[in-house]
Chains A and B, each alone.
Chain A
Amino acid sequence: MLTALATLLSHYRRHPGQLAMLLLGLWVASALWSSVQAINASARDSYARAEALFSTGLDRLERRDGEPLTRDDFLRLRRAGLPVSPLLEGELETPDGTRLTVIGIDPLTLPGDSPFAGGTGDFLTPPWQTRLAPDTLPALAVTARDAPGAEPRLPDGRRLPPLTLAPSLPPDTLVMDIAAAAALLDSGATLTRLVSAADALAEAPEGLVLTRATTLVAPGQLTESFHLNLTAMALLALVVGLFIVQAALGLALEQRLGMLRTLRALGVPGRRLVGLLLLELVLLGLAGALAGIVSGVWLARALLPDVAATLDSLYGAGVTAELQLPWHYWLGGLAVTLGGLLLAGSGVLWRAARLSVLGLGQAQAWRTGFHRQLRLMAAAGTACALLGLALWAWLARQPPGEGLLAGFGLMAMLLLACALWLPPLLALGLAGLARLARRWPLVQWALADLQLQLPRLALAMMALLIALSANLGVSSMVGGFRLTFLDWLDQRLVADLYLRPPAERYDEIHDWLADRPEVEELLATRRTDATLLDAGTDATRPLNLPVGLYGITPGERLVPSWPLLSTLAGREAAWQAFRGGAAFINEQLAIATGLAPGDRLTLDARGRRETVSLAAIYPDYGNPRGEVLLATPRLAERFRAPPGSLGIVLHGDADEATLRTALGDRLGPDRESLLDQREVKRVSTEIFERTFTITRALNTLTLGVAALALFASLLAQARERRRQLAPLWALGVPRARLVVSQLVQVGGAALATGLLAVPLGIAVTAGLVAVINVAAFGWRLPLQLFPGEILLTLATAVAVALLATVLPAMALWRTPPRALLAEEETP
């Protein structure tokens, strides 16, 4: 049995290229899949830790007027018998510039089921304790071994209380006693908020706003769609990788048919032969999967900081930049790779099991088999297309924003259908061309030869098609999004300077600015949390959705440029209604609730209830929440929302520098809150670019995998090709023509693949823009196409194919004719 296995494996000693291709396919597929799974696992771990921390399980109390709470408020409420606990939250900068969240708690009053209730003597008294997760240590330049008891120094020379590791804490978060936090943050007797056990308070005490824990969205919910996106990309890479694997396996079996028959003839039972092939698959699979998982983890480590930054800026979800991998991650990665490999190899095993001992390994016979295979592929492709069609019909009847999974399913079916149709289409095209080329024997030969090559090229071409169209689809979507987003930023950021004055100085700064000659108008904003109670034409449909209430000043400069997606009776009328107290809502909220201009909304914020009419819907890219827009004065008066930032619009000829200096002097230490428009745009654009870093990276990697697949399949059959070319050379065809015909053959096939990839890519873009983005983010983007991207796709296809042909062609060029003939004689 061992001898038989050794015999089977000896094939790879003679054809190391095939072994390399097999392992490469497995390795790449498993690496991309593992890296995305590692990223997802780490992120989910971070969410779980964030949710386990008290902040999401507790109701919050803040002051209605936006001023900070103090210890006196806490004592007053406790003496009134209310079970509230003080919480202090702030940021500290570490010597390496990382910003860490400091949370100060009072464990003696913190509601019972939170992990800190009860506390300990050392936690409560000097020098106190800093509790932190091990993945926060690098920001403090402390190693895990030195961590317990270490007192890292901060940039201002002060030291943190001695460290105590608490792995269940969220990343970049330091939890300590409120007395220690108050000292570090210089916050005196002020508090960030009061918290209480969920539903412990029946109503908000006078002057305070109560936010129920149930209305605070957990990060895991928001980010689920983002992770689904990543998983879909990883699945794509896995499929492309498995295409390579299947191509390589098919080739290896093809070339070993003779060997298998010999083994059968020598008495190895058919069942044992299949078992041996299976064993070979598992061995290869283990090697490929392990290599893939190791490099996947490495890749994830490289990508994770970008993903963490993206999730933070997009959803405000804190994700550790260090990998946190549970044990099932490793098993899962291995299982998926092996499962995929067995799926890809099942065809090979099937064929080996039905191997006829007496059959002859003829290319012609194989071709007949291929014809049947082509018919099967066309049928399977049609089935995929029909399934896709059914999904599409189902999706069309869903409310917008639903069916993220179905959307991915639809796109997967589309890609698979096209990939399956590709070989029959190519075969059909070749047959047609061959009929046309009857007059030119060499062309006819080249076409027939390509037909013969097709079975081996088909899988690589299919992988290339999928990768190319996914690449085109994703880059068009990102490109289109980028243009829309930048445009939208320009429309929204109309003021020259933005300022967030401290609440206690707001009126003073506002009045001072209003009197400055440089200032044309002030665009005041306010924000508060609200609940959208009911909505609909008569505001009776109960929704109970947490939303943001955002107040803007409908000023001269802002109104003309603020983008609106749909209105009841035109922009002019919408703004007129807005000034009169009507509301706008963002696209996310409109999609989630199905509200349209003309409907009425009942809002509850800060204990006040108000019904307003809906005048328009506006785009709001990058915002994870539903938002209701009202005029600032109305928000201040009806809901008593605290003052927010001020947009300062300057006269055309005003001297910005003078105003900045004067304002800086006026603000004193608060001048850090002054930003100019360019800065705001730069930060927003940076966030945007980071959002798609991971998408681009995975996309490029997938295309790279497909290119490798094509490259590898061409290389693997190079030797055999030379043997087939030898008779032509012997018949007097010059080598230059042979090489050119080679390049044209493969380049042509790749170009045909690329051409099919273009409409498919556009369909993918449309799917991403119309289904996936709407469901994942709540924004619908205009479909934009970039001819440059399309040309690049075609060029990539041809370039990859040519590159993969050039190497064997070079060898052909250099091989002495005698050697070619000799190869022909020795099969």
Chain B
Amino acid sequence: MTRLAMLGLLAALVLMGCERDAATDTGLAEPGEAAGGFVQARPGTTLRFPEDHGPHPDTRIEWWYLTANLEDERGEPLGLQWTLFRQALVSPAERPRPGPWVADQAWMAHMAVSRGPTHRVAERFARGHSRQDDGQAGVRARPFAAWLDDWRLESRVDDPDADTFAELALLAHQDDEHGGFGYRLDLTAEGPLVLHGEAGFSQKTADGQGSIYYSQPFWRIEGEVTLDGETRAVSGRGWLDREWSSQVLEPEQSGWDWVALHLDSGHKLMAYRLRGGGEEGGDFLFGNVIAPDGAATPVAQGGLRLTPLSTSLVAGREMPTRWRLELPAQGLDLVVEARHSERWMATSVSYWEGEVTVSDHDGGEALGVGYLEMTGY
């Protein structure tokens, strides 16, 4: 469910300058498969794997979103992000016939590596057609592969009968004036996939709109990361989000705050706050507490509180980089704090995304690490 804000922002990017009102053909008036419209995310959808690891071109937007909290051999923490976004350029009914250059999908990939005050970001775009899988960018469900140019997240599982998503390799590199940055990582799933919301349907607004959202929060990661030309061996934990939807942010929804946390207890915790769009114009909150065995406990509106504690000036904006996350029913009262405030993603759609530490609100003892994303500031 995380980056619903991204969805709206990406739509704004790709449809930039386009007079077509994105909201008119999302089927808000006619939920479901309106004639010519996009397929809507609906409760009761049964997810099937590995097929659903692949793209859903009949929905407006979709992403494969990996964040990781790693440490190098000296114990210095670093974070990384790799994301592939898909945006449909036309509705399924208007889809043009495939041709060498004909596109019905636009792809966007972001990568970032962060350590201390250093934060390196890169962004790439590609066109594609939903009926071709040999393009500059794309995703294939089996054996799993998601790529844009030479940035690639793909299965390391050779056995066609085994779970293609259990072991992945991530490879990406960007040259820049600082000497280049990138990573070459092996990902191993140490737990099951986790479906959020109602069996994967994640409600986004009080009036029942939403997306299909599942995660793999149990990645163990080994490999090497290059930052400013210097390569170090790293290891740590990763979280991969999968989400697709045909909704865009509603006008009253100004943005998004999301956390995905790896607690030292082995629990995983996801929480988001959609600013606006809740009951009577309030915030819409949702969370998921995941036990070490993968058992998920959704926490609905009212079951959690996500409150900014202090802000930092980042890229000319006041960003809340220290938060209090309270889940009274689970007995959790946490402080989530950015390791460094300079984590602005100065991409075509800009946002804040960076590593956080988790500590107990009252005792102050360290409880884990994670990632925080804030959009719409």
Tell me the nearest residue of chain B to A80, going by C-beta. Answer: B150
A126 within 8 A of B: yes
Tell me the nearest residue of chain B to A88, going by C-beta. Answer: B101
B330 within 8 A of A: no
Say whether, besides A78-B136, A80-B150, A71 and B100 are in contact (CB < 8 Å).
yes
A188–B100 alpha-carbon span in the complex (Å): 7
Interface residues on B, range: 20 to 34
Residues of A within 8 A of B94 (CB): 125-126
Residues of A within 8 A of B268 (CB): none
A620 within 8 A of B: no
A75 within 8 A of B: yes
Say whether, besides A108-B126, A125-B89, A78 and B150 are in contact (CB < 8 Å).
yes
B99 within 8 A of A: yes
| Interface hit among A116-124, A132-140, A232-240, A738-746 | A116-124
Find out whether the CB atom of B106 lies under 8 angstroms from the CB atom of A108: yes
Find out whether the CB atom of A183 lies under 8 angstroms from the CB atom of B99: yes
Residues of A within 8 A of B33 (CB): none
Residues of B within 8 A of A86 (CB): 101
A709 within 8 A of B: no
Find out whether the CB atom of A120 lies under 8 angstroms from the CB atom of B18: yes
| Interface hit among B9-17, B68-76, B274-282 | B9-17
For residue A604, give the distance in angstroms from its CB to the closest CB of chain B.
25
Find out whether the CB atom of B149 lies under 8 angstroms from the CB atom of A78: yes
Residues of B within 8 A of A125 (CB): 89-90, 94, 96, 103-104
A189 within 8 A of B: yes
Say whether, besides A121-B18, A125-B89, A125-B90, A182 and B99 are in contact (CB < 8 Å).
yes
Interface residues of A in 171-204 (CB under 8 A from B): 177-179, 182-183, 188-189
Say whether, besides A75-B134, A179-B103, A182-B100, A121 and B149 are in contact (CB < 8 Å).
no
Tell me the nearest residue of chain B to A187, going by C-beta. Answer: B100
Find out whether the CB atom of A71 lies under 8 angstroms from the CB atom of B89: no
Say whether, besides A78-B136, A79-B149, A120 and B102 are in contact (CB < 8 Å).
no
Find out whether the CB atom of B102 lies under 8 angstroms from the CB atom of A179: yes
B317 within 8 A of A: no
For residue B107, give the distance in angstroms from its CB to the closest CB of chain A.
8
Tell me the nearest residue of chain B to A86, going by C-beta. Answer: B101
Residues of A within 8 A of B18 (CB): 120-122
Residues of B within 8 A of A71 (CB): 100-101
A86–B104 alpha-carbon span in the complex (Å): 18
B27 within 8 A of A: no
For residue B125, give the distance in angstroms from its CB to the closest CB of chain A.
4
Residues of B within 8 A of A78 (CB): 126, 136, 149-150
Interface residues of B in 50-72 (CB under 8 A from A): none
The residue among A71, A80, A126, A183 with the most chain B CB atoms within 10 A of its own CB is: A126
Interface string of B101-127 (1 = CB under 8 A from A): 111101000000000000000000111
A124–B14 alpha-carbon span in the complex (Å): 10
For residue B19, give the distance in angstroms from its CB to the closest CB of chain A.
8
B20 within 8 A of A: yes
Residues of A within 8 A of B126 (CB): 78, 108-109
A81 within 8 A of B: yes
Find out whether the CB atom of A108 lies under 8 angstroms from the CB atom of B125: yes
Residues of A within 8 A of B102 (CB): 126, 179
Find out whether the CB atom of A79 lies under 8 angstroms from the CB atom of B125: no
Contact among A79, A118, A122, A179 for B101, CB-based, below 8 A: A179
A182–B98 alpha-carbon span in the complex (Å): 13
Find out whether the CB atom of A120 lies under 8 angstroms from the CB atom of B150: no
Find out whether the CB atom of A124 lies under 8 angstroms from the CB atom of B106: yes
Interface string of A778-814 (1 = CB under 8 A from B): 0000000000000000000000000000000000000
Tell me the nearest residue of chain B to A79, going by C-beta. Answer: B150
Tell me the nearest residue of chain A to B129, going by C-beta. Answer: A179
Find out whether the CB atom of B103 lies under 8 angstroms from the CB atom of A118: no
Interface string of A375-413 (1 = CB under 8 A from B): 000000000000000000000000000000000000000
Interface string of B15-52 (1 = CB under 8 A from A): 11111100000000000000000000000000000000
B310 within 8 A of A: no
A106 within 8 A of B: yes
Find out whether the CB atom of A120 lies under 8 angstroms from the CB atom of B15: yes
For residue A643, give the distance in angstroms from its CB to the closest CB of chain B.
26
Residues of A within 8 A of B92 (CB): none
For residue B254, give the distance in angstroms from its CB to the closest CB of chain A.
24
B173 within 8 A of A: yes
Residues of B within 8 A of A122 (CB): 17-20
Find out whether the CB atom of A124 lies under 8 angstroms from the CB atom of B127: yes
Find out whether the CB atom of B100 lies under 8 angstroms from the CB atom of A81: no
Say whether, besides A75-B135, A75-B136, A81 and B103 are in contact (CB < 8 Å).
no
A106–B102 alpha-carbon span in the complex (Å): 10
For residue A596, give the distance in angstroms from its CB to the closest CB of chain B.
44
For residue A201, give the distance in angstroms from its CB to the closest CB of chain B.
10
A121–B11 alpha-carbon span in the complex (Å): 10
Residues of B within 8 A of A74 (CB): 136
Interface residues of A in 94-140 (CB under 8 A from B): 104, 106, 108-109, 118, 120-122, 124-126
For residue A128, give the distance in angstroms from its CB to the closest CB of chain B.
10
Say whether, besides A75-B136, A120-B17, A182 and B103 are in contact (CB < 8 Å).
no
Find out whether the CB atom of A108 lies under 8 angstroms from the CB atom of B16: no
A67–B245 alpha-carbon span in the complex (Å): 44
B348 within 8 A of A: yes
For residue A302, give the distance in angstroms from its CB to the closest CB of chain B.
39
Find out whether the CB atom of B348 lies under 8 angstroms from the CB atom of A118: yes
Tell me the nearest residue of chain B to A71, going by C-beta. Answer: B100
A125–B102 alpha-carbon span in the complex (Å): 8
The residue among B99, B101, B125, B348 with the most chain A CB atoms within 10 A of its own CB is: B101
For residue A656, give the distance in angstroms from its CB to the closest CB of chain B.
42
Residues of A within 8 A of B17 (CB): 120, 122
A74–B348 alpha-carbon span in the complex (Å): 24
Find out whether the CB atom of A81 lies under 8 angstroms from the CB atom of B16: no
Find out whether the CB atom of A179 lies under 8 angstroms from the CB atom of B90: no
For residue B178, give the distance in angstroms from its CB to the closest CB of chain A.
16
Tell me the nearest residue of chain A to B147, going by C-beta. Answer: A79
For residue B131, give the distance in angstroms from its CB to the closest CB of chain A.
14
For residue A184, give the distance in angstroms from its CB to the closest CB of chain B.
12
For residue B332, give the distance in angstroms from its CB to the closest CB of chain A.
43
Residues of B within 8 A of A177 (CB): 101, 103
A182–B14 alpha-carbon span in the complex (Å): 22
A86–B127 alpha-carbon span in the complex (Å): 12
For residue A475, give the distance in angstroms from its CB to the closest CB of chain B.
54
Tell me the nearest residue of chain A to B107, going by C-beta. Answer: A108
The residue among A80, A81, A183, A188 with the most chain B CB atoms within 10 A of its own CB is: A81
A79–B137 alpha-carbon span in the complex (Å): 9
Tell me the nearest residue of chain B to A107, going by C-beta. Answer: B125
Find out whether the CB atom of B150 lies under 8 angstroms from the CB atom of A118: no
Find out whether the CB atom of B103 lies under 8 angstroms from the CB atom of A124: yes
Find out whether the CB atom of A179 lies under 8 angstroms from the CB atom of B99: yes
For residue A540, give the distance in angstroms from its CB to the closest CB of chain B.
34
A121–B88 alpha-carbon span in the complex (Å): 9
Interface string of B195-220 (1 = CB under 8 A from A): 00000000000000000000000000
Find out whether the CB atom of B15 lies under 8 angstroms from the CB atom of A121: yes
A→B interface (CB under 8 Å): 71, 74-75, 78-81, 86, 104, 106, 108-109, 118, 120-122, 124-126, 177-179, 182-183, 188-189
- Residue pairs across A and B with Cβ atoms less than 8 A apart, 21 shown, are A71-B101, A75-B134, A78-B136, A79-B150, A81-B149, A106-B101, A108-B106, A118-B348, A120-B14, A120-B15, A120-B16, A121-B15, A122-B19, A122-B20, A124-B89, A125-B89, A125-B94, A125-B96, A125-B104, A179-B103, A183-B99
B→A interface (CB under 8 Å): 13-20, 89-90, 94, 96, 99-104, 106, 125-127, 134-136, 147, 149-150, 173, 348
Q: Which 5 A-B pairs have the closest CB atoms?
A: A81-B150, A189-B100, A108-B125, A179-B101, A120-B17
What would 7 more interface pairs be, CB under 8 Å, given A71-B100, A179-B99? A78-B126, A80-B150, A81-B150, A104-B101, A124-B106, A179-B101, A189-B100
